[in-house]
């Protein structure tokens, strides 16, 4: 500026100032959101500066000497590193900033020289070419440095602290039901991830300390028109890092064919893993990647989102393809919960995806997400239907020994016990399945309004599933020849059903009315059992002529014998029957006892005269005690054991 003020313009000064000003104007002009006024001023300024440069040009080449000197200086700094085995940014911040300064200087000189008209001045042309050559060398070097920094300071993060992995046990539909156990399933703990818990989980994919370095490299490369090189290098490294992380999560690429052929246990664990990886990749990794792109490339228009898309697209598509493959597969009932997991994961990631890929180019990815969500929903519904079909079509050739709780019942009840966790999703998906229950969708907040819960689509479907189950159990009960055992079987199973409903959140969906009705049902079966078994036994003890004081001895003997034989027969058969629930067993024994023991005591009391006779095989106490052996599931006999 001194030169200008003194009125004796030195060419070097002019060239310097003009080049710098030109540079600034250009940089400002590249800013996106400028007001029209400001843009016009900049354009004017640009043409004005061009005028000045041509003025200098016409005055002669003295300035070039200085330019050459400055270029020499920059070249020395840049060339020094060409033979140095060390990486510049590893050598220290001073080295790095010196280098950047030299590159910047070269860039300015190139800009300045370009601004001059070069048609005639051969010397000037030579210097420009030399400067551009140096610049190319430097850019090539910066690209290497960039890759080196990204690789060296790239950070992997351990995903484990972010999500507890689902450890829920699988319930497999299996015709033999060998896998069904009635253990309480560790539930809920695995699903307690909340949507916002992970929302803030942004990590540094590249160490925060080197972000300014990367930014400065981006800045100088973009201002020298080497932006595309920067992007390609950046994308390559980051894309590979993502792929590495992807395999680090243990998610391997599988062809659709492989997935369709996969055995259930394997597929189930892959589905679990997918749910887990999807969340980490989207919520943590991609969110962090997006941040990195924005940090490094923010302010360069759409460059950041372009790079982000290129980095993430392939991995996202890979994840989506697994989902597609799963949704395509056979709709087996056991898939339902895993499918719902996948569906819910995707549904709660949609917002993130829509934000991450908000640009037009990313709409492709958005669309694929939405399509997969729909497909998974359809697939879940199909699996739900398959579940229902499996229940109604489960057939048996032989009666279930002992009349206890049928494995089908256990399987179904333990399975549907988990449905309330998926209440919202199931309601959403089942809404259109039956027009009758279409309109009501409930809030997740159970317990507030129980009557609303009992009328939601899921509740309707739950009740329809148990009614399928009940009719199947009725069919199964017909396989018993013994009517009493039919009732024991139904009593056991309906009791189990009710217990399962009462003991879980299912009760909110089934409602008190249902429970009352089913309580009455199994009680009815208990009564029917008593009638079927004991009426004939007790009939021996009946007083045929209530008027007379006692019966004849022979009649008494005959009655006694008849009773003993019948009782022993019942004892022998029904000790092998089973009532697994101790309370139910106890209740039934008490009520049986009340009926049988009371009748027996009365019978003996009325005929006291004969009671010392040998024909009284069983004492009242003995009968009472023997009744305690019933329904324990192991056959015993009274004939050989004379315990009195």
Partner 1 sequence: MPATDYQASFLGRISIRRNQVIAMDGNHEQELQDLELFSKHVSERFAELLSSPDDVPFDALLSISWLRKLLDFFLCCEAEFKGILMMGNDPSQISKPPLDRLIPEFLDRSVKALDVCNAVTNGLESVRHYQKLAEIVVSALEQKPIGDGQSRRAKKTLTSLISAMNVDDKECSAAKATERSWSFSRRGVSSKDRVPEHFRSVSNHVAKNWSAAKQIQAMTNNLVPPRGAEGSGLASPVYTMSVIMVFVMWALVAAIPCQERNGLSAIHFPAPKQLNWAQSIIGLHEKIGEEWKKKEKKGTAGLLDEMQKMEKLGNILMDFTDSFQFHGDITDQKAEEAAAHAAELAEPCRRMEEGLLPLQMQIREVFHRIVKTRTELLNALDQVGKSSPPLL
Contact 574, 633 (CB under 8 A): no
Query: Which range touches partner 1 (CB under 8 A), out of 188-196, 224-232, 467-475, 566-574?
Result: 224-232
Among 17, 118, 441, 479, binds partner 1 (CB under 8 A): 118
Asked if 87 interacts with partner 1 (CB under 8 A), we say: yes
Among 31, 55, 133, 155, binds partner 1 (CB under 8 A): 133
Asked if 552 interacts with partner 1 (CB under 8 A), we say: no
Asked if 589 interacts with partner 1 (CB under 8 A), we say: no
Asked if 624 interacts with partner 1 (CB under 8 A), we say: no
Distance from first CA to last CA of the chain, Å, rounded? 128
Asked if 151 interacts with partner 1 (CB under 8 A), we say: yes
Residues 447-486 that bind partner 1 (CB under 8 A): none
Asked if 213 interacts with partner 1 (CB under 8 A), we say: no
Contact 533, 570 (CB under 8 A): yes
Token digits for 215?
């930014």
Q: Rounded distance, CA 327 to CA 372, Å?
A: 8
Q: Rounded distance, CA 621 to CA 351, Å?
A: 73
Among 53, 124, 304, 315, binds partner 1 (CB under 8 A): 315
Q: What residues contact 430, with CB distance under 8 A and at least 6 apart?
A: 381, 384, 437, 457, 458, 460, 461
Among 4, 208, 317, 628, binds partner 1 (CB under 8 A): 317
Among 12, 143, 334, 352, binds partner 1 (CB under 8 A): 143
Asked if 132 interacts with partner 1 (CB under 8 A), we say: yes
CB of 232 to partner 1, least distance (A): 5
Contact 403, 485 (CB under 8 A): yes
Asked if 622 interacts with partner 1 (CB under 8 A), we say: no
Query: Which range touches partner 1 (CB under 8 A), out of 320-328, 342-350, 463-471, 515-523?
Result: 320-328
Report the candidate in 469, 465, 462, 519 with the shortest Cα–Cα distance to residue 491. Answer: 519
Residues 374-393 that bind partner 1 (CB under 8 A): 375
CB of 103 to partner 1, least distance (A): 13
CB of 121 to partner 1, least distance (A): 12
Which CB, 201 or 231, lies closer to partner 1?
A: 231
Query: Which range touches partner 1 (CB under 8 A), out of 6-14, 142-150, 485-493, 498-506?
Result: 142-150
Asked if 266 interacts with partner 1 (CB under 8 A), we say: no
Contact 576, 402 (CB under 8 A): yes
Among 144, 174, 512, 583, binds partner 1 (CB under 8 A): 144
Asked if 137 interacts with partner 1 (CB under 8 A), we say: yes
What's the Rg (C-alpha) of the chain? 43
Token digits for 629?
């052996």
CB of 151 to partner 1, least distance (A): 5
Q: Rounded distance, CA 145 to CA 99, Å?
A: 11
Asked if 156 interacts with partner 1 (CB under 8 A), we say: no
Concatenating the DSSP letter of every residue in 407-441 gives HHHHHHHHHHTTGGGGHHHHHHHHTTT-GGG-S--
Report the candidate in 154, 304, 164 with the shortest Cα–Cα distance to residue 242. Answer: 154
Which CB, 375 or 518, lies closer to partner 1?
A: 375
Residues 488-507 that bind partner 1 (CB under 8 A): none
Contact 605, 551 (CB under 8 A): no
CB of 116 to partner 1, least distance (A): 13
Residues 348-377 that bind partner 1 (CB under 8 A): 361, 364, 368, 371, 375
CB of 68 to partner 1, least distance (A): 16
Among 34, 210, 260, 620, binds partner 1 (CB under 8 A): 260
Q: Alpha carbon 287 to chain centroid distance?
A: 18
CB of 393 to partner 1, least distance (A): 11
- Kindly report each contact of residues 55-60 with a partner whose C-beta sits within 8 Å and lies 24 or more positions away, as own/partner: 56/11, 56/14, 56/15, 56/18, 56/116, 57/116, 57/117, 57/121, 59/11, 60/11
Among 41, 254, 479, 597, binds partner 1 (CB under 8 A): 254
Among 18, 19, 217, 233, binds partner 1 (CB under 8 A): 233
Q: Rounded distance, CA 426 to CA 340, Å?
A: 8
Q: How far is CA 590 from CA 166, 216, 489, 533, 595, in A?
A: 45, 87, 19, 15, 9
Asked if 129 interacts with partner 1 (CB under 8 A), we say: yes
Among 12, 68, 104, 324, binds partner 1 (CB under 8 A): 324
Region at 99 (left for phi over 0; alpha for psi -120 to 50; beta for the rest): alpha
Contact 56, 112 (CB under 8 A): no
Asked if 225 interacts with partner 1 (CB under 8 A), we say: yes
Query: Which range touches partner 1 (CB under 8 A), out of 210-218, 233-241, 296-304, 345-353?
Result: 233-241
Asked if 148 interacts with partner 1 (CB under 8 A), we say: yes
CB of 530 to partner 1, least distance (A): 41
Concatenating the DSSP letter of every residue in 427-489 gives HHHHTTT-GGG-S----S-TTS-HHHHTTSHHHHHHHHHHHHHHHHHHHHHTT-SSHHHHHHH
CB of 635 to partner 1, least distance (A): 38
Footprint on this chain of partner 1 (rule: CB under 8 A): 82-87, 118, 125, 128-129, 131-137, 139-140, 143-144, 147-148, 151, 225, 228-229, 231-233, 235-237, 239-240, 243-244, 247, 252-258, 260, 310, 313-315, 317-318, 321, 324, 328, 361, 364, 368, 371, 375
């Amino acid at each position: 500026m001194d030169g200008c003020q003194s009125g004796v313009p030195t060419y070097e000064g002019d060239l310097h100032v003009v080049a710098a000003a030109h540079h600034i104007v250009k940089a400002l002009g590249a800013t996106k959101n400028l007001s029209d006024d400001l843009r016009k001023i900049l354009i004017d300024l640009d043409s004005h500066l061009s005028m000045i440069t041509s003025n200098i040009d016409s005055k002669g080449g003295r300035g070039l000497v200085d330019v050459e000197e400055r270029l020499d200086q920059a070249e020395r700094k840049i060339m020094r590193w060409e033979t140095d085995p060390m990486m510049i940014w590893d050598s220290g911040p001073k080295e790095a900033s010196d280098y950047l300064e030299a590159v910047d200087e070269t860039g300015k000189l190139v800009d300045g020289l370009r601004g001059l008209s070069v048609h005639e001045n051969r010397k000037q042309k030579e210097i420009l070419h030399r400067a551009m050559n140096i610049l190319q060398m430097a850019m090539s070097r910066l690209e290497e440095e960039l890759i080196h920094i990204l690789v060296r300071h790239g950070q992997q993060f351990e995903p484990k602290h972010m999500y507890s992995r689902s450890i829920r046990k699988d319930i497999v539909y299996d015709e033999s039901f060998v896998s069904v156990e009635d253990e309480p399933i560790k539930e809920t703990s695995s699903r307690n991830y909340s949507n916002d818990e992970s929302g803030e989980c942004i990590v540094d994919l590249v160490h925060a300390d080197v972000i300014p370095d990367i930014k400065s490299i981006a800045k100088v490369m973009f201002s020298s028109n080497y932006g595309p090189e920067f992007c390609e290098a950046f994308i390559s490294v980051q894309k590979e890092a993502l792929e590495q992380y992807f395999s680090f999560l243990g998610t391997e690429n599988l062809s659709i064919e492989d997935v369709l052929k996969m055995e259930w246990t394997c597929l189930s664990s892959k589905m679990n893993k997918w749910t887990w990886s999807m969340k980490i990749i989207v919520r943590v990794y991609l969110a962090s990647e997006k941040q990195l792109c924005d940090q490094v490339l923010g302010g360069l228009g759409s460059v950041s989102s372009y790079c982000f898309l290129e980095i993430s697209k392939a991995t996202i598509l890979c994840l989506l393809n697994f989902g597609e493959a799963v949704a395509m597969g056979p709709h087996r009932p056991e898939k339902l919960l895993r499918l719902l997991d996948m569906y819910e994961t995707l549904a709660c990631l949609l917002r993130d995806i829509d934000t991450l890929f908000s640009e037009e180019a990313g709409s492709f990815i958005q669309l694929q997400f939405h399509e997969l969500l729909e497909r998974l929903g359809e697939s879940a519904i199909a699996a739900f239907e398959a579940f229902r079909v499996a229940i109604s079509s489960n057939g048996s050739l032989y009666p279930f020994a002992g009349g206890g709780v049928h494995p089908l019942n256990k399987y179904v009840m333990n399975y549907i016990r988990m449905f309330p966790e998926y209440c919202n999703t199931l309601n959403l998906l089942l809404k259109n399945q039956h027009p009758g229950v279409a309109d009501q969708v409930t809030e997740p907040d159970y317990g507030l309004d129980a009557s609303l819960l009992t009328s939601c689509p899921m509740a309707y479907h739950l009740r329809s599933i148990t009614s399928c189950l009940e009719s199947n159990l009725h069919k199964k009960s017909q396989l018993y020849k013994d009517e009493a055992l039919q009732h024991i079987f139904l009593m056991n199973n309906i009791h189990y059903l009710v217990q399962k409903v009462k003991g879980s959140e299912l009760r909110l969906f089934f409602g008190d009315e249902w429970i009352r009705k089913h309580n009455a049902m199994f009680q009815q079966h208990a009564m029917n059992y008593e009638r079927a078994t004991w009426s004939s036994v007790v009939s021996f003890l009946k007083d045929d002529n209530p008027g007379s004081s006692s019966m004849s001895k022979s009649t008494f003997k005959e009655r006694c014998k008849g009773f003993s034989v019948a009782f022993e027969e019942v004892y022998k058969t029904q000790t092998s029957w089973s009532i697994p629930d101790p309370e139910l067993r106890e209740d039934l024994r008490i009520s049986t006892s009340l009926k049988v023991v009371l009748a027996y005591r009365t019978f003996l009391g009325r005929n006291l005269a004969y009671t010392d006779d040998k024909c009284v095989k069983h004492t009242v106490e003995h009968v009472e005690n023997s009744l305690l052996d019933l329904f324990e599931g192991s056959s015993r006999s009274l004939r050989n054991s004379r315990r009195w």
